[in-house]
Amino acid sequence: MLFLCQLWRKLIRQAPGKVSLFLGTLLLISQAWPLWAQRFQELYTGQVVNVLDGDTITLLTTDYEQLRVRFYGVDAPEKNQAFGPQSREALQNLIGGRNVTVEVVDTDRYSRQVGLVRQDGHLINQVMVAGGWAWVYPQYCKLARLCPGLVAAEKQARSQGLGLWSDQNPIPPWQWRRGARSGSPAPDQRGGAVVPIGGSLRGNVSSHIFHNSSCKHYSCRNCVRIFKTREEALKAGFRACKICGG
């Protein structure tokens, strides 16, 4: 260590210009490195072999490696949450069995690759939000080149009542998960009255039968009409389920 210090002092005395150039180069590299790192993110190409829900897939890469991929910046309804099955089906129809490219942005605590998923030039993260099948995840959506576009897509889907926005009080998945873990109701999106997880009652828009949260049919594919009370459901022309009583 002493030898290195002496060598450094000697270099400074004999060639101060070269030392300044060397230090300046190091400074430029340190400042440019984050941009280079962002530009050369890890890329994977492969086939979607499984769609777990509206924001998570399993990718079989061209190297025959299976990767669990979570969509960056968005959060889709959970499987047992209202619109969860429909969200998964929408993603399945978009990319199930097809080849996609994944630009990895991060790795989450479950060791999943978190990334931007593209198919035929379309950013599927944004397509899911634009169709009303996923929320923008504000806590984790930080990319300036991406997130404003996602927010605009969500705003438009909400204004048109697409997908989950056809519900008057859709509950964001992150709130739903907190309620599911604690076993307590989750607040509705407007911050007003508290409703049970997934809505008080769900009506099947095909059979016009409504179910309460204890019913095995509560999360059926067509159970997308939400009612706060039995009176509201009956007034809308729905009848109570014979299994759970509605």
Hey, which residues are catalytic here? 70, 78, 112
Rounded Cα distance, 246 and 244, in Å: 5
Rounded Cα distance, 198 and 180, in Å: 10
Q: Rounded to 5 degrees, what angle do the CA atoms 25, 28, 29 make?
A: 85
Q: Max CA-CA distance within the chain?
A: 94
Residue type, 206: S
CA 44 to centroid of chain Cα atoms: 19
User: Token pair of 201, please?
Assistant: 């009652």
User: Token pair of 182, please?
Assistant: 């604690």
Rounded Cα distance, 229 and 226, in Å: 9
Q: Rounded to 5 degrees, what angle do the CA atoms 216, 90, 205 make?
A: 45
Q: Rounded to 5 degrees, what angle do the CA atoms 205, 210, 216 make?
A: 105
